[in-house]
Amino acid sequence: MKKIILSYSGGLDTSAIIPWLKENYPGAEIIAVSAHLGQDAELLGIEERAKNAGADKLYVEDIQNEFVEDFIWPTLKAGAKYEGYLLGTSMARPIIAKHLVEIAKKENADAICHGCTGKGNDQVRFELTIKALMPEIKIIAPWREWSIKSRDEEIDYAESHGVKLNITRETNYSKDMNLWHLSHEGMDLENPENEPNYQKDGFLEMTTSPENAPNGAEYITISFEKGIPTALNSEKMNGVALIKKLNKIGGTHGIGILDLVENRLVGMKSRGVYETPGGTILYHAHEILETLCLDKETSHYKALIAQKYAEIVYNGQWYTPLREALDAFVNKTQETLTGEVKLKLYKGNIIGAGVQSPHTLYSKDFASFGEEDVFNQADAAGFINIFGLPIKVKALLDKERGN
């Protein structure tokens, strides 16, 4: 092996992997690749950390805009949630892997390495993307090969090789952060009987505990064009800026905390806490606008599509014909999804406060309980007779048979 591309976050796993690669692939050039997906603070000093760990070269790829436009917005438009989870890590892995492949081709590398465990979902997401975009390259997954069995052992290994870590054993949650969310796993969270310590200093980073949120509500208005958020409080802004602004506003009001025991792709249940303040607001607003602009049959069928779309994203199948086909369906449903949604934020709650659209399917004339000329209420009797005919026939036949 002459060159190995390493997906490098600067955290414990990928920092420990660099000396391991040096030991197991002597002479290979280790090229670290860090994807900037909005985890601003985590990237501070990353060049120094990569050099300290032994990397020969480091790429830092700012792909925030691509992440929003090509991954977050399609998933939002689909309304995709996996068991309530808004897919922050799931969406991030394919775009990271895509850029690993691009750099592997540029560097003429022999292998791509990732730091995912053999128990997790991320190994599947990385490797399915690599197989779709560069099927011939070798994949190295140290967690499936080395003798290290726990994060404590991993810390020992890193420290014995002189790798400086920015964590302690007491704060050693497994975390993943990007523009969209922050996830927490491990330690006390592994017991689902334990309530997450939201009040503990440093646990929540993107949002706050609802108990600590302001006592007054805040109103916001989000504008959409064809299903895509385009403005906040009438101020036009790009997707990255809009999500960051909503993260700050939502975080202040304790929005977007999810404590979830989920069914992993690999077959086990896992427990994690997710912080998604801006994303939770956007999903809520998008759902409200759809109630106004989608007809009944499309809305109900789209809910089925949303679940399948979520499974595809969660399972790492982004680069598949089915996901592309579902996008075509979703984009058709979003052609009239333009309008404004007003929301009230208060202590962890998002409360609808009004919605409008030039493509509304709501007609006050038809829906009103007041006097009107567009709906003859006497027509309902015939409708009920026809709709209820199977029920009536069964009841009559049952009576004849003495049932």
Rounded-to-integer distance, Cα 141 and Cα 147, Å: 12
The region, left, alpha or beta by phi > 0 then psi within -120 to 50, assigned to residue 238 is beta
First-last CA distance in the chain? 79
Rounded-to-integer distance, Cα 114 and Cα 289, Å: 40
Helix (H, G, I), strand (E, B) or coil at 334: coil
Residues assigned a catalytic role: 13, 93, 122, 174
Q: What was the pLDDT predicted at 112?
A: 98
| pLDDT of 370 strictly over 80 | no
> Element (H or E) spanning 96, and its range?
helix 88-107
Contact between 114 and 143 (Cβ < 8 Å):
no
Which residue is listed with tokens 């499974």? 311
Half-sphere exposure of 246 (CA within 13 A, CB side): 36
What percentage of residues in the chain have a pLDDT greater than 90? 82
Structure token pair of residue 226:
């064809």
Mind listing the pLDDT tens digit for each residue in 308-320? 999 999 999 999 9
pLDDT interval class at 168 (50, 70, 90): low
| pLDDT of 372 strictly over 70 | no
CB atoms within 10 A of CB 257: 21
pLDDT interval class at 371 (50, 70, 90): low
Mind listing the pLDDT tens digit for each residue in 153-164? 988 999 899 888
Q: Which residues pair with 259 in a beta bridge?
A: 273
Structure token pair of residue 292:
């106004």
Q: What was the pLDDT predicted at 369?
A: 65
| pTM (predicted TM-score) | 0.92
Contact between 2 and 29 (Cβ < 8 Å):
yes
Mind listing the pLDDT tens digit for each residue in 213-272? 999 999 999 999 999 999 999 999 999 999 999 999 999 999 999 999 999 998 899 999
What percentage of residues in the chain have a pLDDT greater than 70? 97
CA-based R_g, the chain, Å = 25
Which tops the pLDDT comparison, 322 or 368? Answer: 322
Rounded-to-integer distance, Cα 273 and Cα 139, Å: 30
| pLDDT of 345 strictly over 80 | yes
Which amino acid, residue 191?
Answer: N
Mean pLDDT, rounded, of the chain = 94
Mind listing the pLDDT tens digit for each residue in 272-319? 999 999 999 999 999 999 999 999 999 999 999 999 999 999 999 999
Please tell me the least confidently modeled range out of 24-33, 147-156, 193-202: 147-156
Residue 294's contacts (CB-CB under 8 Å, 6 or more residues apart) are 302, 333, 336, 337, 361
Residue 67's contacts (CB-CB under 8 Å, 6 or more residues apart) are 37, 38, 91, 92, 95, 178, 179, 180
Q: Which residues pair with 260 in a beta bridge?
A: 272
